[in-house]
Amino acid sequence: MSNNEREEINSKLNIIDIVSTHLTLKRAGARYVGLCPFHNEKTPSFTVTPEKNLFYCYGCHKGGTIFDFVMEMENMDFPQALKFLADKAGVELGGRHKEDSGDRKIRDALKELYRRVSGSFQYILINKPEAETARDYLVKRGLTLELIEEFQIGWAPDDRNWLLKFLKSKGYSNEFLTESGLFSQRGLSYPLFSGRVMFPIMNNNGEVIAFSGRTLKDFGPKYINSPETILFLKKNNLYGLNNSIKKIRETGYFILCEGQMDVIAYHQAGITNAVAPLGTAFTSGQVRILKRYADKAVISFDGDQPGQNAARKAVMLFEQHEITSKIVKLPAEEDPSDILVNKGEKALHKVLKSTINSFDYILENAINLSDISTPEGKEEILRSMNDYLGSLTSEVRRNSCMNEIAERLGVKFNSVERDFMRGGRQPEKEKPGENKIQKKKDVSVELFLMIAVVVNRNSYEFVRGRISIDDLKDARAREIYIALEESFRNEETYLDSVLSRIEDQQLVSLIAEKVTSDEFSINSDELIKDTVKKIKKSSLLKKREEIVKKLKNISKDSVEDVNEIDLLSEKIFLDQEIEKLRLGI
């Protein structure tokens, strides 16, 4: 992408105008504040700095540029956000962003294909006599026409030749259809979906990217999902998310169900923050997607043993990502869809209110599967709780849970703690790259300087003339230095030109926080000069120390003394530079 295009968009758009379409902002000095759209809060902590076209929330620590805000708020990827803002700014994007990417062409072609197929499936379901059995099934499951249209539910005809004939009539080639994910690997004579109720799977923008088909017959797999394609990765998508994002943000929590019909049942009952994984195990990728919108979960899985096992795994994933969860206790033989059909919407609302703390749920299940009256049974219960205890990121919570386990089992706390440690379940440590933003706030002197320079861009020419990237040891400071250097060489002045080159989103949020504060607004020139001097001196002293070590290691019996002379010359030079810094020359 041309950075000139990005700079032009920044020059023509004010972030206040974009943000104000989503929330009410009030002026507070040079900045604006409002209630954060990304998490529930009663006191405004969301700050916008129009001078920098930057936002930051002191509550949830999200921050970034006008592009970041649109991507997060409108559920867009970067190319979509770029086009969205370019259209608003009246900026014409260059050819590279129009269509020179092969992958982009394939994605767009697949989206158009799925849009057509989904529309045709739905038309058949609503209008064709051959879909009467499917219509009767959906009506019996409590679905209205409005809900069918909202979720774009359809019917794939029993005729196995229909889909190929239909798509060929629209001009699609055999080669493209072979890779479309709509046909078996055995060939185009074998469509994946026939004689099935079709549930389109959509991305956050409501675009169909795959299908899930349910048979109404008593044989064959109950559900078939599309294979993974360039558009669709099961582990990174959730059924119903695009229909639920607004309500999830409003309520601050989401409901995790087992399947499509459960999601639709909740929506039919007016509970519109329900989602489901796509016929596979719930994944960390899906948890991270959900955490963008809420940090509280209600798990609504079947009450049978497989459902309990799945709920347990989901709870531990949520704990690892610091999402608080509760469990809906469903009867063993009923799912949300059954409750809606058999008992009505009020019963489903009542069930949703009868949640249980996740820890209590897992402990109760462990006790029910073992004999708590025997030492062996107590040992089994504790062993089964170890994974859960290990998933907790809070030591306070872990100790509290251990206390409760000790009380329920009638043993001492120390015994529970020792058994947990002996089981190799040390408290989980955060993995590299997964540090919380609070830990990212541990700012080194080098990082402090580079953020100060980002805030005061005019000072960069002074800084680059006195320290190089080799003087910086902090990886985050080096990343900012590189971004500043590239912007400087391209004569780009907007803050966005620097932030767009930084891949670490938590670092972007940290910079956004510092920019929106007054930390670098007072005596910034003196602050930067003093910090440059400190870093340069530290770097020179370290180099001098290395030279001295090398000189000590040179053999006194060595005939060759050229290396020693070079080292001594370098030491004298470093001594002179350090003295200049001391004298302020």
- Write down the pLDDT at residue 211: 94
- Write down the pLDDT at residue 2: 58
- Write down the pLDDT at residue 442: 66
- Write down the pLDDT at residue 497: 83
Q: How confident is the model at residue 558 (pLDDT cuts 50, 70, 90)?
A: low
Rounded to whole angstroms, the Cα distance separating 412 from 403 reads 8
How is the beta sheet containing 26-28 ordered, strand by strand? 26-28, 31-34, 46-49, 54-57, 63-65
Q: Domain 102-232 sits in which CATH superfamily?
A: DNA primase, catalytic core, N-terminal domain (3.90.980.10)
Q: What is the pLDDT of residues 22-65, one digit of tens each?
A: 888 888 877 899 988 887 777 888 999 888 889 999 888 888 99
154 pLDDT above the threshold of 80: yes
Q: Domain 437-583 sits in which CATH superfamily?
A: DNAb Helicase; Chain A (1.10.860.10)
Give CA separation, 223 vs 79, 177, 239, 450, in Å: 34, 22, 14, 54
- Write down the pLDDT at residue 97: 43
CA-wise closest residue to 3 among 91, 69, 63: 91
Rounded to whole angstroms, the Cα distance separating 279 from 165 reads 29
197 bridge partner residues: 155, 214
Q: How confident is the model at residue 428 (pLDDT cuts 50, 70, 90)?
A: very low
- Beta strand 254-257 with 54-57 is unpaired
Give CA separation, 398 vs 297, 388, 414, 501, 517, in Å: 19, 9, 13, 40, 35
CATH of 3-98, one of 3.40.640.10, 3.30.830.10, 3.40.50.300, 3.90.580.10: 3.90.580.10
CA-wise closest residue to 257 among 387, 121, 348, 156: 348
Q: Look at the pTM and tell me if it is higher than 0.75.
A: no
The H or E element containing residue 55 is: strand 54-57
Rounded to whole angstroms, the Cα distance separating 511 from 403 reads 41
E-only strand ranges, 184-289: 196-202, 208-215, 223-225, 254-257, 274-275
- 241-422 placed in CATH 1.10.10.10: no
Least confident piece of the model among 207-211, 226-230, 514-518: 514-518
Least confident piece of the model among 213-217, 451-455, 563-567: 563-567
Higher pLDDT, 518 or 176: 176
What percent of the chain is predicted at pLDDT more than 70? 90
| Cα atoms in the Cβ-side hemisphere of radius 13 Å centred on 231 | 26
- Could you state, in order of their start, the residue ranges of all structural domains in the chain? 3-98, 102-232, 241-422, 437-583
- Write down the pLDDT at residue 429: 44
583 pLDDT above the threshold of 70: no
Overall average pLDDT of the 488-513 stretch: 84
- Write down the pLDDT at residue 299: 94
Q: How confident is the model at residue 439 (pLDDT cuts 50, 70, 90)?
A: very low
